[in-house]
A and B are shown apart, each in its own frame.
Chain A
Amino acid sequence: MPLPPASGTGRYFVKAAKSIRLIRQGCTNRPFYHISVTHRRRLNSQAVIEQLGSYDPMPNTNNEKLVALNLERIKFWLGQGAHVTNPVGELLGLAGFFPIHPRSYMTAWRNRRTERENQAKAEKSTESTTTEV
């Protein structure tokens, strides 16, 4: 049996809960995601209803991560009461479509904290080496 198309089969139950989520489409060691709408209880390996965009989490040569969003269709599915998962919510927040997701702020300040700690550690180690000498 041929695989269903990645862009979606378009078949769904009207009253069943939908979810807009990232679906991994890359290969080993090379993640690539489709942003798709699907039934909430369906597995990621099953046929989706419709593809709404894509997300490439690996920065390209210009150090950019590319996200494509079909905002028109996303609006439609939100209107149908589709649930949005956290990773997609974060992307939509960064795009300015949603308010910034709280998890984005958490990641940001955690990253800042670890950077500060690393800096302090580095300073400490340089100080200790200078005092030893």
Chain B
Amino acid sequence: MSLLKLVQNNTKSAFFRCNEPKIFLISSRKLSIVPSIYDGEDPAPKFFSSGIQILLKRLTRPDFAKVFRKRNNSNISVLRTPKYKFVTDEELRMEKLKADKSADRLLQMPPVVKVHKPIDDVLSIDPALIGYDSAKYLFTDISFGVDNEHRTIIERDPDGTLRSCDHAERKRLNQIYFPMQGRKIREPLIFQDEEKFHSLLDRLQYEYVLDRACVQYEPDEPTYHKLTSITYQHIDLKSMYDLLRSTRHFGPLAFYLTWHKSVDNLMLELLQSADVREAVLLLALRQALHGDLSSGEESSALVSQILPTPVQLTKKEQLSEEDIQLDTKCIECVDKYINTNSAMKSQQGLALQGFREHYQQLVELSRGLKKAHGAA
């Protein structure tokens, strides 16, 4: 059996080697990503501040076609057919508002908070109870209307000590008495077994991994931080940001990269896909988190102009004069960043140059069109 497996593995790697040498080179099993967790300064106040939330939501670039796509039918017995209606403008506006609201709910970001501290709280020590029982007693207060974080859960150890339970036990008992849908009492195999976890990452199942981790773990657990950090770094290495766009995990990803100052790869991807406005938003995010940019103030000033513009999902065909003004300002701002703060100066410079040339053509085209129509 093991021989067979070995042969299979070898054929797999050989296949990689001959077909796609790039993928073979950056296989994460060889890479061994070192997870970095938020254990220093608490990121929560910054993450939850309204300015940063707005930036992260905008960077997510929500595309409703992806947000509202059919994912699975596990909870619905029969798939509902879409309804088509004739509506008035007013009704259409209401429907759009409704869609916005439900998209907001679907895109609510999992919180980024500091790793919790272990609970070490001895309530009483009674050595006369030694020998009462060889097992621990766990007591859970199941009074109505108390949430999981504030529930009293204590243990009586065989040596007679009465203490509050630690986070692992608390989570287990909460799950036993008040089960949460999708969460397992035992850790799922994909998180236990590193081989399986990395195989999922190699198959680019990032959203699945993050969704599953989100349900299985509390946001302040060290395991959650470890798993998400590995996933984010994997995405960053492979530049597969598009897989997380329009999902609720893009915000934490951007926040993670900015917090750990490894934002250059994302910046390069944004410039290559000609999203110079989002690049400025990313700069503003970094300015808000670290405040170490030379072009920081300009980018924060540009944010208020960028936010009212609609989200750009496809490449633009025509440009208005205001768009051109805004974009040139953005290009200047990004250019300044590349020259002073960037670690990938040459690549980003090239990408920006390419964008500039393409943009110049676009500007000429739209101005020419306007002239031809006699508007200018």
CA distance A68 to B139 in the complex (A): 6
Judged by a CB distance under 8 angstroms, whether B138 is at the interface is yes
Are B129 and A96 in contact (CB-based, < 8 A)? no
* Residue from B130, B139, B141 in contact with A112 in the complex, judged by beta carbons closer than 8 Å: B130
Residues facing B in A55-71 (CB within 8 A) are 59, 62-71
Are B141 and A70 in contact (CB-based, < 8 A)? yes
* Residue from B131, B139, B176 in contact with A111 in the complex, judged by beta carbons closer than 8 Å: B131
Contact with B along A90-133 (1 / 0, CB 8 A): 01001110001000110111011001000000000000000000
> Number of contacting residues on B, CB 8 A?
28
How many cross-chain pairs have Cβ atoms below 8 Å apart between A and B? 80
Are A94 and B128 in contact (CB-based, < 8 A)? no
Judged by a CB distance under 8 angstroms, whether B84 is at the interface is no
Are A65 and B135 in contact (CB-based, < 8 A)? yes
Q: Which residues of B contact A73 (CB under 8 A)?
A: 143
Q: Which residues of A contact B144 (CB under 8 A)?
A: 70, 72
Q: Which residues of B contact A105 (CB under 8 A)?
A: 128-129
Judged by a CB distance under 8 angstroms, whether B133 is at the interface is yes
Q: Which residues of B contact A67 (CB under 8 A)?
A: 137-140
Are A95 and B129 in contact (CB-based, < 8 A)? no
Judged by a CB distance under 8 angstroms, whether B322 is at the interface is no
Judged by a CB distance under 8 angstroms, whether B86 is at the interface is no
Q: Which residues of B contact A64 (CB under 8 A)?
A: 135-138, 155
Judged by a CB distance under 8 angstroms, whether A53 is at the interface is yes
Are A68 and B177 in contact (CB-based, < 8 A)? yes
CA distance A81 to B260 in the complex (A): 61
Are B154 and A95 in contact (CB-based, < 8 A)? yes
Judged by a CB distance under 8 angstroms, whether B109 is at the interface is no
Are B141 and A71 in contact (CB-based, < 8 A)? yes
Judged by a CB distance under 8 angstroms, whether B162 is at the interface is yes
Could you list 4 further interchain pairs (A-B, Cβ under 8 angstroms) beyond the known A65-B135, A100-B126, A100-B128? A64-B136, A65-B137, A69-B141, A105-B129
User: 18 A-B contacts, Cβ less than 8 Å apart?
Assistant: A53-B142, A59-B135, A63-B134, A65-B135, A66-B173, A67-B140, A68-B142, A68-B177, A70-B141, A72-B144, A94-B139, A94-B156, A95-B137, A105-B129, A109-B128, A109-B131, A111-B132, A112-B130
**Chain B residues with a Cβ under 8 A of chain A:** 123-124, 126, 128-144, 152, 154-156, 162, 173, 176-177
**Chain A residues with a Cβ under 8 A of chain B:** 53, 59, 62-73, 91, 94-96, 100, 104-105, 107-109, 111-112, 115
